[in-house]
Structure 1
Amino acid sequence: MLSVAAVLSAMFVVGTASAAFPKITYMRPLGVVRGEESTITLHGSSLGDATQVLTDLPGLEILEVTPVDEKSVTVKLKADEKLAPGLYPIRLVTKSGITDLRLLGVGAMPIVNEVEPNNSFEEPQTIEMDRTIEGNVDREDVDCFKVHLEAGQKLTVEIEGIRLVQELRNRNIFDPAIAILNSDRFEVAVSDDSPLLQQDSLCSFTPEEAGEYTIVVRESSFLGASNVCGYRLHVGSYPRPVTVIPSGGVNGEVLQAKLIDVDGTVTDSSVQLPSEPVAQWPVTHQDDRGISPSPNWIRVSDAPIVTEVEPNEGQSQASPGQFPALLCGVIEEGDGYDWYSFECKKGDRVRVQLHARKTLRSPLDGVIHVFGPDGKTLKGSDDIGPNPDGLVDFDAAADGMHFVRVYDHLRRGSPNHNYVIELSRREPSLELTLKELRRDEAMVVPVPVGGHGAMVLTARRNQFNDQFDAFVEGLPEGVTAQTFPMPAGRVEIPIVLHATKEAKLGGAFFEVGAAGKIGDREIQGEFNQHHKVVLGQNRREMFGYETEKAALAVCEAMPFSVEVVQPKTPILRRGSKDLVVRIKRDEGFDGTVSFRTLYNPPGIGVNNSKRIDKGKDQVVIPITANGSAAIGTWPMILQVSYGTSRGTATMSTSPIMLDVEEPVFDFAFPKAAAEQGAETILAVGMTKRRDIEGDIEVRLVGIPNGVSCEEPQKKVELGSEAVQFELKVAADAKPGTHKTMVVQTMITRDGETMIQTDGTGEIRIDKPLPVKKDPPADKKAEAKPKPKPAAKPLSRLEQLRQQKESK
Structure 2
Amino acid sequence: MPQRRHMTHMICRFTAVFAVVAVSSLAHAADPRLSVVVPRGMQRGTEAVVNFRGARLKDAQEIFFYDPGIEVVKIEPAEDGNSANVTLKAAPDCRLGEHEVQVRCASGVSEFRTFWIGALPELAEQEPNNEFDKPQPITLNTTVTGIVESEDVDYFTVEAKKGQRINVEIEGLRLGTQIDSRFDPYVAILNQDRFELSVADDTPLVNQDSVASLIAPEDGRYVIQVRDGSYQGNGNCFYRMHVGEFPRPLAVYPAGGPVGQETEVTFIGDPAGALTHKVTPPADPKTPFLLIPEQNGQIAPSANPFRVSPFANVLEQEPNGEPAKASGPASPAPIALNGVLEDEKDTDFIKFAGTKGQNLRIECYARRLRTPIDPVLSIHKADGGQLAANDDNGGPDAGLDFTVPEDGEYLVGVRDHLSRSGPEYVYRVEIIPQQPELTLSIPRVQQYEQTRQQIVIPRGGRFGTLVNAARKNFGGKIVLETDRLPPGVTMIAEPMAENLSSMPVLFEAALDAPLGGFLVDLKGFKDDNREINGRFSNTADMMRYQNQEMLWTTTVDRLPVAVAEKLPYSIEIVEPKVPLVRNGSMNLKIIAKRDEGFTKPITIEFPFRPPGVGTLPNVQIPEGQNEVMYPLNADGNAQVASWKVYAVGLSDVGGMGLSASPFAKLDIADNYLNMAPERAAVVQAQPTEVYAKLEIKTPFEGTATAVLLGLPNKVVAEPVQITKDTADVRFKVTTDAESPVGRHQGLFAQVTIPLNGEEMVHRAAGVELRIDAPPPVPKEPEPKPAEPPMPVAQPDKPPEKPLSRLEQLRLEAKQRLEQGKTP
TM-score for the superposition, normalised by structure 1: 0.88
Cα distance between partner residues in 2 of 1:545 and 1:732? 64
Whether 1:757 aligns to 2:763 is yes
Deviation at 1:522, TM superposition (A): 5.3
User: Could you tell me whether the CA contact under 8 Å between 2:203 and 2:210 is conserved in 1?
Assistant: yes
2:265 aligns with one of 242, 257, 261: 257
Structure 1: gaps (5+ residues): 1-18, 777-807
User: Could you tell me whether the CA contact under 8 Å between 1:354 and 1:419 is conserved in 2?
Assistant: yes
Cα distance between partner residues in 1 of 2:434 and 2:311? 14
2:672 aligns with one of 664, 667, 671: 664
Percentage of matched positions with identical amino acids: 33
Residue equivalent to 1:91: 102
Residue equivalent to 1:802: none
Deviation at 1:759, TM superposition (A): 3.6
User: Could you tell me whether the CA contact under 8 Å between 2:572 and 2:647 is conserved in 1?
Assistant: no
Deviation at 1:446, TM superposition (A): 2.3
Cα distance between partner residues in 2 of 1:107 and 1:80? 11
After superposition, residues 282-361 of structure 1 pair within 5 angstroms as 282-320=290-328, 321-322=330-331, 323-358=333-368, 360-361=369-370
Letter in 2 for 1:93: R
Letter in 2 for 1:189: S
Whether 1:50 aligns to 2:57 is no
Structure 1 residues 255 and 669, CA gap change in structure 2 (3 angstroms): same
Residue equivalent to 1:145: 156
1:275 aligns with one of 266, 271, 283: 283
Secondary structure (helix, strand or coil) at the match of 2:393 reads: coil
Deviation at 1:20, TM superposition (A): 4.9
Whether 1:469 aligns to 2:479 is yes
Structure 1 residues 713 and 415, CA gap change in structure 2 (3 angstroms): same
Whether 1:534 aligns to 2:550 is no
Residue equivalent to 2:71: 61
Whether 1:576 aligns to 2:582 is no
Secondary structure (helix, strand or coil) at the match of 1:599 reads: coil
Residue equivalent to 1:503: 513
Cα distance between partner residues in 2 of 1:458 and 1:122? 57
Residue equivalent to 1:166: 177
Cα distance between partner residues in 1 of 2:475 and 2:700? 32
Residue equivalent to 1:195: 204
Deviation at 1:735, TM superposition (A): 5.0
Structure 1 residues 758 and 774, CA gap change in structure 2 (3 angstroms): closer
Cα distance between partner residues in 2 of 1:705 and 1:123? 81
1:122 aligns with one of 105, 117, 133: 133
Structure 1 residues 267 and 748, CA gap change in structure 2 (3 angstroms): same
Secondary structure (helix, strand or coil) at the match of 1:364 reads: coil
Letter in 1 for 2:384: G
User: Could you tell me whether the CA contact under 8 Å between 1:237 and 1:289 is conserved in 2?
Assistant: no
Deviation at 1:99, TM superposition (A): 2.2
Cα distance between partner residues in 2 of 1:472 and 1:84? 26
Deviation at 1:691, TM superposition (A): 4.7
Deviation at 1:299, TM superposition (A): 0.5
Cα distance between partner residues in 1 of 2:435 and 2:92? 42
Residue equivalent to 2:619: 610
Letter in 2 for 1:217: V
Residue equivalent to 1:5: none
1:379 aligns with one of 372, 388, 391: 388
Secondary structure (helix, strand or coil) at the match of 2:174 reads: helix
Letter in 1 for 2:399: L
Residue equivalent to 1:483: 493
Cα distance between partner residues in 2 of 1:395 and 1:521? 27
Deviation at 1:216, TM superposition (A): 0.8
Cα distance between partner residues in 1 of 2:520 and 2:200? 41
Deviation at 1:337, TM superposition (A): 2.3
Secondary structure (helix, strand or coil) at the match of 1:316 reads: helix
User: Could you tell me whether the CA contact under 8 Å between 1:278 and 1:299 is conserved in 2?
Assistant: no
Structure 1 residues 722 and 29, CA gap change in structure 2 (3 angstroms): same
Structure 2: gaps (5+ residues): 1-28, 785-823
Residue equivalent to 2:23: none
Deviation at 1:462, TM superposition (A): 1.9
Cα deviation code 1:295-349 (max 9, x no counterpart): 1111000011111222322323322242211111211112222221111110011
Cα distance between partner residues in 2 of 1:496 and 1:79? 36
Residue equivalent to 1:513: 523
Residue equivalent to 2:15: none
Cα deviation code 1:270-296 (max 9, x no counterpart): 223111114742111223241111111
Structure 1 residues 505 and 775, CA gap change in structure 2 (3 angstroms): same
Cα deviation code 1:208-233 (max 9, x no counterpart): 2110111111111111112x211111
Structure 1 residues 746 and 338, CA gap change in structure 2 (3 angstroms): same
Deviation at 1:356, TM superposition (A): 0.8
Cα deviation code 1:618-650 (max 9, x no counterpart): 2222222222323222332322111122x3333
Cα distance between partner residues in 1 of 2:272 and 2:408? 41
Residue equivalent to 1:638: 647
Deviation at 1:677, TM superposition (A): 5.3
Cα distance between partner residues in 2 of 1:768 and 1:196? 80
Residue equivalent to 1:722: 728
Deviation at 1:181, TM superposition (A): 0.9
Letter in 2 for 1:113: A
Letter in 2 for 1:173: R
Deviation at 1:505, TM superposition (A): 2.2
Cα deviation code 1:578-622 (max 9, x no counterpart): 111111211221211111222222332223452222322122222
Secondary structure (helix, strand or coil) at the match of 1:538 reads: coil
Residue equivalent to 2:604: 595
Deviation at 1:767, TM superposition (A): 5.3
Deviation at 1:123, TM superposition (A): 0.9
1:746 aligns with one of 726, 748, 752: 752
Secondary structure (helix, strand or coil) at the match of 2:206 reads: coil
Residue equivalent to 1:627: 636
Cα distance between partner residues in 1 of 2:273 and 2:701? 83
The structure with the larger Rg is 1
User: Could you tell me whether the CA contact under 8 Å between 1:740 and 1:762 is conserved in 2?
Assistant: yes
